[in-house]
Amino acid sequence: MPLNSVLPSSTHLVLIPSYNSGFKLIETVEDALREWAPVWVILDGCTDESKARLEKLKAETGRLQVISLERNQGKGAAVLHAMKLALAAGFQYALVMDADGQHPSDYIQRFMTASQENPSAMILGEPEFAADAPFSRRNGRCVGNWWTNLATLWGGIHDSLFGFRVYPLRASVEILEKIKRGRGFDFETELVVRLYWRGIPPINIKAPVKYFEKEQGGVTYFHYIRDNLLLIRTHTLFFFGMLARFSYLWRLRKR
């Protein structure tokens, strides 16, 4: 499908945050443009050649917006920056996906359609791992998911970390600006729980996830100690937040 054959949406857009994502970035953006328009890429203080390559693609398609941040601020901060711009431009929902090819671009329309049919909900990807997926990725998230379920009294969030999701923009921006957290690796977990606490129901859709070796273009900036400590702090705060909201969450869960 040509990159400029999709009719642009006035309500839903795709956001792709990137920090030195390597050659997979252009492939990911091209695949997204075949499925949806508009697509915005947020370069989070990139020091590689991403901007030049994306500007060329922007000129060729007319469906791409490139946002460049001077310094690296973290995934959540980069997405929040773009969300505020998108909200000001009149958009209401954003599908966020990774820049390294892990997320399935051919599922974009499926997720957007689910959002259009369920405007009061958030659309959450539930990862389907291939047999060759790293053990730590397949099983390490189980602990975090259990704590997320506790924080929502098992309200229906099937995965707390998968970054392929459609978020309601206004509620997301209001939440993130209020808490001043969720700027790094805790972004997905922080936002999905607080959206649920706000009364926005989750709709889970299974989606395949790919993991690439370094020679295949795989890039990760996950810091095992730092980011796990960040998630421990997040879930600790959620636990006490759940206790304070217990009656409300119980009613929400029953409903």
Q: Does 133 map to a domain?
A: yes
Per-residue pLDDT at 67 exceeds 90: yes
Q: Does 1 map to a domain?
A: no
| Average pLDDT score over residue span 1-12 | 84
Q: Does 6 map to a domain?
A: no
Answer whether 149's CB lies under 8 Å from 192's CB: no
Q: What is the CATH number of the domain that holds 19?
A: 3.90.550.10
Each residue's pLDDT tens digit, 206-254: 999 987 665 554 566 456 677 678 889 999 999 999 999 999 999 998 8
Neighbours of 164 (CB within 10 A): 26
Could you give the C-alpha distances from 99 to 18, 19, 25, 104, 198, in angstroms and in order? 6, 8, 5, 11, 29
Closest CA to 32 of 20, 14, 58, 56: 14
Q: Does 217 map to a domain?
A: yes
Q: Does 7 map to a domain?
A: no
| Average pLDDT score over residue span 11-27 | 92
Closest CA to 174 of 76, 234, 41, 84: 84
Displacement of CA 218 from its chain's centroid (Å): 18
Count: domains in the chain: 1
Domain housing 100 = 12-254
* 3-state SS, residue 5: coil
Single pTM value for the model: 0.91
Residue 217 DSSP class: T
Q: Does 173 map to a domain?
A: yes
